[in-house]
């Protein structure tokens, strides 16, 4: 056994080192452990003894009780039988004394009976009651007697057998000890001896076969627990305990091997953990650091002992702690990850932006955690820089549209929470496009930069300024009285924008149209606030520009009307509701129709003919004027082709109004293609333009007009006498016809003679200039005979108006021709068409 114990200890790794002998001090720790647990090694034996004692108590003790009871029962039965014998024997002896009333003899016999140890009292009495003897006369035993036996006493006389009395004896109570006899004691002693021998043998066998191997197993387990190394059981036998010991030793060997493998794996994992070029750390359920990698310490400048056990949140900037503490921390059976970006304070006080990716898993009731901390300071800086660039207008340095929308959303949330007010100023520059087109984009950019600086100089520090795009700016004003503040600031901005802008030594004149909308009085959302300020801005632009306009419900109704007209335009183009009415242009001297002016009409199937002025205005704003212009020109040329078959109209020309927006490089080709389609020569076409076209001073417009004029078409300057009416237009552009505005024609019959004289002089002057420039003159708006005669007196060659002929569909004109062809082509006092 000693050799086996020594071998087991050697296998457990606690044997002598470097060739030391057995029994050396290496044994002392084991002996100390054995001594230390000696007090706890008899628990199995104690329980075994308790079990044996319990078995004796539960099984043997009842047998003892049963044995005592049966033995006592047998002894007491013998007492009763003995009492019966006493009764029978003495009842015969008492017959004669009771017959003779010999009390003394009776007492002697009773005393003899009482002398028996099983009798406690005796009573003899005569039948007639003359004699009654009780012994003892006073009982000293307070306990009641046991069994009472009685028998009649008979006397055989001459007259036969007579009952002369009765004999009663009271036996003592049943008593285990008093009835216990020697042979019973011998039997019990033998039985107890056998029980003691068997119990001792069981305890000894348990100690030898069970307690000792268990004691050694306990020693090995306790030594393993206390000393940290695996210990073997020093026990070999061919029974179950030997098998248990062998299996335990085998298990200890495997566990020792597994522990060594785990130690090596742990060492390897720890080395990898520390060598990984990433800032790794682990925390417990309370967010306390339980491990940090060497790279984490190197990057942060801390020492391991100084950080372990501390709350990780203590290393974070207070502003970002809530984000870290609110990260996803619910661990389940599956692995869960939480990602958060926070500011981490290093040992030297530096704040760095770190991205934390934390993985947690719940295993066997324990939370496993691993987190990697990545320095994203440069990335965060670049992200912030990109964010600033994304919301900043690079030309002016102001907020751009996305940036302003973010600021507006935040301001609305703040105003809603505080009960404050906001004003939104939408600013659109007037006359900016000609500057951009004529001077180039560089000059336009410089104008925008200067205007941005002027706007910024007129607002307060808490106001936000942005450029939405092009020449549109916006100002957001938070104020307790937003309307008053908006009106004051918009007036300052309008005045600042009206100041000349110096670009490359040239002074450029602009102005600003400003629309104002208020939150929450007029709008409840950011989109609605921008929309209504935009509506107010366009209302200002249509009503004189250069100023501010506060939104009112009428503007919204006008916007709805505009939207309705836009819908009509789009539907009209799809359903071909657009048509051309022709108004005759008459040669006033010869009284013949010289040509027709094509006028656009939109014939709605439900609402009839819609006002063309509104249609043209909305179409120019939406860009639909290009498609409408093509459609109208196509139909007008088709109508001219039909009228060309009428005698006297073979050479009538067609005057077509062209919007400034239609002047694009493809316009000449489109016109020529239509003319070729319908067989109309270019010399029969007059292109009517307004001063707005010529004011652009665009080389493209000059080239387009030159191409049209070079093809034989004539150029008519419409509404001459209004606007700037610069005579330079007649010099620099190929104008062939000057159309006098109808305002002058109406003034020829004004009530004021002074007005009539002045208008006559103006028309005469225009006619003189036109004659010198080899241009024809057409008077518009002739509505009365007096106006016609006044124009004839001024030698105006051509005219048009309701007095000469209303605009009509081509079908109506052709029908009129069939009814009265002469009236269609000749003019007397009036030409009804």
Q: What is the DSSP string of 83-133?
A: HHHHHHHHHHHTHHHHHHT-HHHHHHHHHHHHTSTTEEEEEEEETTSS-EE
What CATH number should be reported for the domain whose range is 391-551?
3.30.70.270
Extract the tokens encoding 245.
Answer: 């010991």
CA dist 148 and 172 (Å) reads: 9
pLDDT of residue 251: 87
For 246, the enclosing helix (H) or strand (E) is helix 240-275
Percent of the chain whose pLDDT exceeds 90 = 37
Q: If you compute the radius of gyration of the chain from its CA atoms, what whole number of angstroms results?
A: 66
Mean pLDDT of the chain: 83
Instruction: Give, in words, the CATH class of 59-180.
Output: alpha beta
Task: Give the pLDDT confidence of 370-415 residue by residue, as tens digits.
Answer: 888 888 888 888 888 888 888 899 899 999 999 999 999 999 999 9
pLDDT of residue 830: 46
Task: Give the pLDDT confidence of 595-606 residue by residue, as tens digits.
Answer: 999 999 999 999
Asked whether the beta carbons of 9 and 199 are under 8 A apart, the reply is no
Min mean pLDDT across 217-221, 317-321, 501-505, 576-580 is at 217-221
pLDDT band at 332 (very low <50, low <70, confident <90, very high): very low
Return the CATH architecture of domain 577-811.
Alpha-Beta Barrel (3.20)
Write down how long the chain is: 833
Task: Give the pLDDT confidence of 782-801 residue by residue, as tens digits.
Answer: 999 999 999 999 999 999 99
pLDDT band at 434 (very low <50, low <70, confident <90, very high): confident
Q: Do 59-180 and 276-380 agree at the fold level?
A: yes
Residue 591 is classified by DSSP as T
Question: Is the per-residue pLDDT at 732 higher than 70?
Answer: yes
Q: The dihedral of CA 805, 808, 810, 815: what is its sign?
A: negative
Superfamily designation of domain 276-380: PAS domain (3.30.450.20)
pLDDT band at 141 (very low <50, low <70, confident <90, very high): low
Task: Give the pLDDT confidence of 450-489 residue by residue, as tens digits.
Answer: 999 999 999 999 999 999 989 999 999 999 999 999 999 9
Min mean pLDDT across 137-146, 316-325, 715-724 is at 137-146
Extract the tokens encoding 506.
Answer: 């040239």
CA dist 405 and 466 (Å) reads: 10
Question: Is the per-residue pLDDT at 810 higher than 80?
Answer: yes
Min mean pLDDT across 406-420, 643-657, 693-707, 805-819 is at 693-707
Residue bearing the bigger pLDDT, 329 or 298: 298
Min mean pLDDT across 131-145, 257-271, 620-634, 686-700 is at 131-145
Task: Give the pLDDT confidence of 23-42 residue by residue, as tens digits.
Answer: 343 344 444 444 444 444 45
pLDDT band at 421 (very low <50, low <70, confident <90, very high): very high
pLDDT of residue 8: 38
End-to-end CA distance of the chain: 143
Residue bearing the bigger pLDDT, 337 or 75: 75
At how many degrees (to 10) do helices 212-227 and 27-36 cross?
A: 110
Question: Is the per-residue pLDDT at 329 higher than 60?
Answer: no
Mean pLDDT of 45-50: 77
- pTM of the full predicted structure? 0.48
Question: Is the per-residue pLDDT at 558 higher than 90?
Answer: no
Question: Is the per-residue pLDDT at 76 higher than 70?
Answer: yes
- Residue 488's closest CA among 498, 500, 477? 477
Residue bearing the bigger pLDDT, 76 or 501: 501
Neighbour order of strands in the sheet with 160-171 = 132-135, 119-126, 160-171, 148-157
CA dist 102 and 642 (Å) reads: 187
Residue 752 CB contacts under 8 Å (≥ 6 apart), including other chains:
none
pLDDT of residue 330: 44
CA dist 155 and 163 (Å) reads: 6
pLDDT band at 709 (very low <50, low <70, confident <90, very high): very high
Question: Is the per-residue pLDDT at 192 higher than 70?
Answer: yes
CA dist 293 and 245 (Å) reads: 44
Percent of the chain whose pLDDT exceeds 70 = 88
Min mean pLDDT across 2-6, 159-163, 238-242, 347-351 is at 2-6
Asked whether the beta carbons of 436 and 503 are under 8 A apart, the reply is no
CA dist 401 and 396 (Å) reads: 13
Mean pLDDT of 122-140: 80
pLDDT of residue 817: 73
Question: Is the per-residue pLDDT at 696 higher than 90?
Answer: no
pLDDT of residue 573: 93
CA dist 690 and 657 (Å) reads: 9
Question: Is the per-residue pLDDT at 832 higher than 80?
Answer: no
Question: Between the ranges 58-72, 243-257, 356-370, where is the mean pLDDT highest?
Answer: 243-257
**Domain extent listing, the chain:** 2-36+186-258, 59-180, 276-380, 391-551, 577-811
């Amino acid at each position: 056994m000693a050799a086996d114990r020594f071998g087991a200890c050697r296998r457990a790794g606690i044997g002598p080192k470097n060739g030391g002998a057995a029994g050396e001090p290496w044994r002392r720790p084991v002996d100390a452990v054995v001594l230390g647990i000696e007090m706890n090694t008899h628990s199995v034996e104690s329980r075994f003894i308790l079990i044996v004692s319990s078995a004796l108590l539960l099984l043997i003790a009842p047998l003892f009780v049963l044995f005592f009871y049966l033995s006592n029962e047998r002894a007491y039965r013998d007492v009763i039988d003995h009492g019966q014998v006493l009764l029978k024997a003495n009842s015969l002896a008492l017959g004669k004394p009771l017959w003779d009333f010999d009390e003394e003899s009776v007492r002697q016999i009773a005393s003899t009976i009482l002398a028996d140890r099983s009798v406690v009292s005796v009573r003899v009495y005569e039948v007639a009651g003359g004699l009654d003897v009780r012994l003892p006369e006073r009982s000293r035993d307070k306990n009641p007697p046991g069994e009472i036996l009685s028998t009649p006493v008979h006397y055989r006389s001459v007259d036969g057998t007579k009952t002369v009395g009765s004999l009663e004896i009271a036996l003592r109570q049943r008593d285990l000890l008093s009835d216990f006899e020697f042979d019973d004691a011998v039997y019990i002693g033998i039985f107890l001896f056998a029980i003691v021998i068997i119990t001792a043998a069981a305890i000894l066998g348990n100690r030898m076969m069970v307690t000792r191997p268990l004691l050694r197993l306990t020693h090995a387990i306790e030594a393993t627990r206390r000393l940290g190394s695996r210990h073997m059981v020093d026990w070999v036998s061919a029974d179950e305990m030997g098998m248990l010991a062998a299996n335990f030793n085998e298990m200890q060997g495997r566990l020792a091997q597994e522990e060594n493998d785990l130690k090596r794996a742990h060492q390897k994992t720890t080395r990898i953990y520390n060598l990984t070029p990433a800032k790794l750390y682990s925390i417990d359920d309370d967010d306390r650091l339980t491990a940090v990698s060497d790279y984490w310490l190197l990057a942060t400048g801390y020492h391991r002992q100084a950080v372990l056990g501390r709350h990780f949140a203590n290393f974070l900037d207070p502003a970002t702690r809530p984000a870290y503490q609110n990260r996803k921390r619910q661990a389940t059976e599956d692995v869960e990850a939480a990602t958060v970006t926070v500011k981490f304070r290093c040992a030297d006080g530096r704040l760095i932006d770190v991205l934390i990716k934390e993985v947690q898993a719940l295993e066997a009731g324990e939370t496993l955690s691993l987190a990697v901390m990545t320095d994203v300071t440069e990335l965060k800086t670049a992200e912030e820089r990109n964010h600033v660039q994304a919301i900043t207008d690079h030309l002016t340095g102001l907020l751009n549209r996305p940036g302003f929308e973010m600021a507006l959303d935040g301001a609305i949330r703040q105003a809603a929470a505080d009960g404050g007010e906001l004003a939104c100023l939408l600013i659109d520059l007037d006359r900016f496009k000609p500057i951009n087109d004529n001077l180039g984009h560089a000059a336009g950019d410089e104008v925008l930069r200067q205007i941005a600086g002027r706007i910024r100089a007129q607002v307060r520090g808490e106001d936000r300024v942005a450029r939405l795009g092009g020449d549109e700016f916006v100002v957001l004003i938070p104020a307790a009285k937003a309307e008053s503040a908006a009106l004051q600031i918009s007036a300052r901005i309008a005045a600042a924008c009206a100041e000349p802008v110096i670009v490359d030594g040239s002074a450029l004149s602009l102005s600003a149209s400003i629309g104002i909308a208020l939150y929450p009085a007029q709008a409840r959302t950011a989109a609605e606030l921008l929309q209504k300020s935009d509506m107010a801005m366009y209302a200002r632009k249509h009503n004189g520009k250069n100023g501010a306009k506060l939104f009112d419900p009428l503007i919204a109704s006008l916007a709805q009307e505009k939207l309705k007209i836009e819908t009509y335009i789009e539907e009209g183009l799809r359903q071909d509701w657009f048509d051309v009415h022709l108004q005759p242009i008459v040669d006033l001297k010869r009284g013949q129709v010289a040509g027709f002016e094509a006028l656009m009409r939109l014939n709605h199937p439900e609402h009839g003919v819609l006002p063309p002025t509104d249609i043209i205005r909305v179409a120019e704003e939406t860009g639909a004027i290009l498609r409408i212009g093509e459609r109208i020109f196509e139909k007008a040329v088709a109508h001219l082709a039909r009228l060309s078959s009428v005698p006297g109209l073979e050479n009538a020309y067609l005057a077509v109004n062209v919007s400034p927006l239609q002047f694009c490089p493809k316009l000449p080709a489109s016109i020529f293609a239509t003319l070729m389609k319908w067989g109309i020569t270019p010399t029969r076409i007059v292109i009517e333009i307004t001063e707005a076209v010529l004011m652009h001073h665009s080389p493209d417009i000059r080239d387009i007009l030159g191409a049209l004029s070079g093809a034989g078409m004539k150029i008519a300057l419409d509404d001459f006498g209004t606007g700037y009416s610069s005579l330079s237009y007649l010099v620099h552009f190929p104008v062939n016809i000057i159309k006098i505005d109808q305002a002058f024609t109406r003034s020829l019959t004004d009530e004021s003679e002074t007005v009539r004289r002045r208008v006559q002089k103006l028309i005469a002057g225009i006619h003189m200039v036109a004659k010198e420039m080899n241009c024809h003159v057409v008077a518009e708006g002739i509505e009365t005979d007096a106006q016609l005669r006044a124009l004839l007196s001024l030698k105006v060659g051509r005219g048009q108006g309701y007095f000469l002929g209303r605009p009509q569909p081509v079908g109506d004109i052709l029908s009129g021709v069939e009814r009265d062809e002469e009236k269609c082509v000749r003019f007397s006092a009036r030409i009804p068409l």
